[in-house]
Amino acid sequence: MPLSIHDTYSRTKRPFEPRDPNRVTLYVCGPTVYNYAHIGNARPVVVFDVLFRLLRHTYGDDHVIYARNITDVDDKINAAALAQGVPISTITDKFAAIYNADMAALGALTPTAQPRATAHIDAIVAMIGRLVANASAYAAEGHVLFDTQSFPDYGKLSGHTLEDLIAGARVDVAPYKRNAADFVLWKPSKPGEPVWDSPFGPGRPGWHIECSAMIEETLGLPIDIHGGGHDLIFPHHENEIAQGLCSHKGGGADHSDTYARYWMHNGFLTMDAEKMSKSLGNVRLVHELIERFPGEVIRWALLSAHYRAPLDWTDDLLEQSHRTLDRLYQSLQDAARETGQSAATPLADASLEAQAVAGAKAVIDALEDDLNTPAAMAALSALATSLRQAVTTKLDDAPVKQRTLVVAGGLLGFLQADPGAWFEGGADEALKSQVEALIGARAEARRSKDWAAADRIRGELTALGVEVLDGPGGTATWRRRE
Ligand SMILES: [Zn+2]
């Protein structure tokens, strides 16, 4: 089944056909790096990471270019830099590094390119110059503004008309704007803020223009897929289309009719059914969550709802996700014990390996249906059930099923850890040897039927935050609980 995508622009689910299957392009709006990312910021990262993995699987690793920008000039960054008396790069370098580490902890692959706005100022200035030259933009009071009246398709992505935008006051009204919906491309810098020279006077870019400039420089128009959170449809993505297309108006460019061939937007994330906000005190930072839960558990929770649907973030969801992943890893651990092999590497027999890879089809089918991650994760659980049955009844195809589960998990970014390491949960060597010694002593106590001692030792293990799972033939595995 070929991939089909719900396209926000056409409001339909359409089969995905890349412009060039040898160079599939994906752009996702990235973070403004001035503080820690919250869990709502992580949702598009993980969703589009699954898409990136699926596209790589379909078109080949070297044929997919995924760009996720870093906004490194912005009012909030400037404010943080001024408050601390440091250059903006001190703030942005720090938080870009933290962001990348936190997203890597959630299993997100590094995008092919992570362009930064401040490294593309020349392209931004050139694009604004073209917009002014062809009368799509105008200068006023040190600002350059995009003239929304010059673009008849303005509002098509979001379903707004210029009239309802103005009537509904969805736009900032400023005295220097010809029309209330016009938006800033370039603005003067305030004292102490970073400033760049330009033909329109010294200043800095507005936010929207950076994505259009970076898309042109890193990917080229039209791109195949543009992604982001639902809240970016208007005005950010609407403005990207307007300035991106109009910058080629009258310029003889051969690609001035389409900006992005498919638009994908993920739904909102709420906290216990409430909006996440500082005033409600319910902001959850990824940086803190990864201290409490394995990144893979957080990833599972983020993908548990379809990306277009709202996702309600609760402690229950995290705990349930943890239990589900424990069950999947347990299947792998039991299988490894039975088959005597790890499923991390391809099976030696090529035809068996092909069989194992083919077994992941149900997961791929679900993902190709507009990235239906809940269905894909259900298929993964079904593969684990089938593996458990094969192991219990000692079927010959247990090694193939074991491998299938790891291959299928990899498509979603799951189950790539060693099962033993998963259950040890990052325990240090000292704790590991302490636990192993206690488990050995407990096994000895059980063999000599000293149940009181065995129970006492289990209590000691519990106090260490360790749960012991007795396996067949007196073997025991253990896991850490938070
Ligand atoms: Zn953007």
* SS3 assignment, position 338: helix
Q: How far is the CA of 381 from the centre of ligand 1 (A)?
A: 36
Q: How far is the CA of 456 from the centre of ligand 1 (A)?
A: 58
Provide the pLDDT for residue 390: 96
Integer Cα distance of 144 and 193 in angstroms: 18
Strand 274-275: give its sheet, edge to edge: 274-275, 269-271, 311-313
Residue 60: closest CA among 91, 102, 23:
23
Mode of pairing for the β-strands spanning 183-187 and 143-146: antiparallel
Provide the pLDDT for residue 192: 86
Residue 170: closest CA among 179, 185, 178, 180:
180
Q: How far is the CA of 206 from the centre of ligand 1 (A)?
A: 11
Q: How far is the CA of 161 from the centre of ligand 1 (A)?
A: 21
Is the Cβ–Cβ distance between 190 and 203 less than 8 Å? Answer: no
Buried b (16+ CB within 10 A) or exposed e, 49-60: bbbbbbbbbbbe
Is the Cβ–Cβ distance between 124 and 209 less than 8 Å? Answer: yes
Instruction: Give the CA angle between residues 129, 132, 138 to the nearest 5°.
Output: 130
Integer Cα distance of 384 and 330 in angstroms: 9
Is the Cβ–Cβ distance between 192 and 88 less than 8 Å? Answer: no
pLDDT along the chain (482 residues), means of 10: 95 97 98 96 98 98 98 94 94 97 98 98 97 96 95 93 72 82 94 93 96 96 96 96 92 70 96 86 93 96 98 96 96 93 93 97 98 98 97 93 98 96 84 89 92 92 85 71 64
Q: How far is the CA of 13 from the centre of ligand 1 (A)?
A: 23
Provide the pLDDT for residue 229: 97
DSSP type of residue 158: T
Q: How far is the CA of 263 from the centre of ligand 1 (A)?
A: 12
Q: How far is the CA of 457 from the centre of ligand 1 (A)?
A: 56
Q: How far is the CA of 212 from the centre of ligand 1 (A)?
A: 8
Cis peptide before 222 (omega within 30 of 0): yes
Give one DSSP letter per residue of 274-306, joined into a string.
EE--TTTT---BHHHHHHHS-HHHHHHHHTSS-
> pTM score > 0.75 for this model?
yes
Q: How far is the CA of 79 from the centre of ligand 1 (A)?
A: 21
Is the Cβ–Cβ distance between 338 and 393 less than 8 Å? Answer: no
Q: How far is the CA of 71 from the centre of ligand 1 (A)?
A: 9
Integer Cα distance of 213 and 208 in angstroms: 9
Give one DSSP letter per residue of 253-269, joined into a string.
-S--S-SEEEEEEE--E
* SS3 assignment, position 468: strand
Q: How far is the CA of 70 from the centre of ligand 1 (A)?
A: 9
Could you give the residue ranges of the DSSP H alpha helices within 146-274? 162-167, 207-218, 238-246
Residue 215: closest CA among 27, 51, 9:
27
Is the Cβ–Cβ distance between 343 and 383 less than 8 Å? Answer: no
Q: How far is the CA of 356 from the centre of ligand 1 (A)?
A: 40
DSSP type of residue 425: T
Give the Cβ contact number of residue 271 at 10 Å: 19
Is the Cβ–Cβ distance between 194 and 78 less than 8 Å? Answer: yes
Half-sphere exposure of 42 (CA within 13 A, CB side): 34
* Residue type present at position 130: R
Mode of pairing for the β-strands spanning 223-229 and 24-28: parallel
Integer Cα distance of 294 and 105 in angstroms: 8
Helix axes 121-133, 207-218, angle to 10 degrees: 100
Give the Cβ contact number of residue 310 at 10 Å: 13
* SS3 assignment, position 140: strand
